[in-house]
Amino acid sequence: MRIENLAINKNGFAFDPTTGETFTLNDTAREIIEDLAKGIDEKEIAKKLSKEYEVTEEEAFNDVLDFKEKLKLYGLLS
């Protein structure tokens, strides 16, 4: 899981030291990455998001799954 090694700064930039790749991301993306790295499951992450933000748990759940797909395509998650 390369996301564990991602160096994410406050300005929405992430650096992957293993490949030298950089990414831009928003706050929601950062939170999900941090949670995934801690081993929290998708449903739990969705629940957290829906408590913190104006979003339903259902919508957030889909977004987390979709986001994981993106991380896989970028090789950040296996």
Partner 1 sequence: MAKKTYEKPTIIKVESSHSKAGVPMPKQKIRKTIGGVNIDEMVDKFGSPLFIFDEKAIREKYRRAYEAFSSRYPNVQFGWSYKTNYLKAVCAVFHQEGAIAEVVSEFEYEKARELGIDGKDIIYNGPFKPYESLVTAAKEGAKIHIDTFDEINDLEKVADELGLEIPVAIRLNMDTGIYPQWSRFGFNIESGQAMDAVKRIRAGGKLRLTGLHAHIGTFMLDANAYKIETAKMVRFMNEVEEKVGFTIEYIDVGGGFASKNHLKGIYQPPEVVVPTIDDYAEAITSALYENLKGNSYPKLYLETGRHLIDEAGYLVTSVVASKTLPDSRRSYIVDAGVNLLYTYFWYKFNIELTREVSGISEPAMINGPLCMNIDVIDESILLPRLKRGDKLVISPVGAYNVTQWMQFIRYRPRVLMVTEDGNVEIIREKEDLSDIEKREILPEKLKLK
DSSP state at residue 60: H
Is 49 a binding residue for partner 1 by CB under 8 A? The answer is: yes
Question: What sign does the CA torsion over 13, 8, 6, 46 have?
Answer: negative
Interatomic CA distance for residues 48 and 65, integer angstroms: 15
Query: Does 74 interact with partner 1 (rule: CB under 8 A)?
Result: yes
Q: Does 28 bind partner 1 (CB under 8 A)?
A: yes
Which one, 9 or 26, has the nearer CB to partner 1? 26
Using CB under 8 A as the binding rule, whether residue 67 contacts partner 1 is answered as: yes
Q: What value, to the nearest 5°, has the Cα angle with vertex 27 and ends 25 and 32?
A: 90
Task: For residue 35, state whether it binds partner 1 (rule: CB under 8 A).
Answer: no
Q: Is 71 in the site for partner 1 (CB under 8 A)?
A: yes
Amino acid at 1: M
- CA atoms of 20 and 12, how far apart (whole Å): 16
Q: Where do contacts with partner 1 occur on this chain (CB under 8 A)?
A: 12, 14, 21-29, 31-33, 49, 51-55, 59-60, 63-64, 66-67, 69-71, 73-74
